[in-house]
Amino acid sequence: MKSYILHDDHQSLIQYRKQGPAFDLAIPTPEHYLPLIYALALKEKTDEITLFNDAPVGGSLTMTS
């Protein structure tokens, strides 16, 4: 998902149900995921995306922002 975001691959993010079981487990229902799509839709070509808070906690929980 981070790679899709950083490489502006919005189509793969929109079609998240086709991305395999890891996406299905991470996004069991869309209401917490869809705001990401809305935020990315506002990105201008000149905007730079940076990620923070993406280190795993407890081995599997990340709160990437």
What global pTM score does this model have?
0.79
Average pLDDT, the chain: 90
Distance in Å from the first CA to the final CA of the chain: 12
| pLDDT bracket for residue 11 (50, 70, 90) | very high
pLDDT of residue 21: 93
Q: Where are the domains of the chain?
A: 1-65
Contact predicate 9/36, CB 8 Å: no
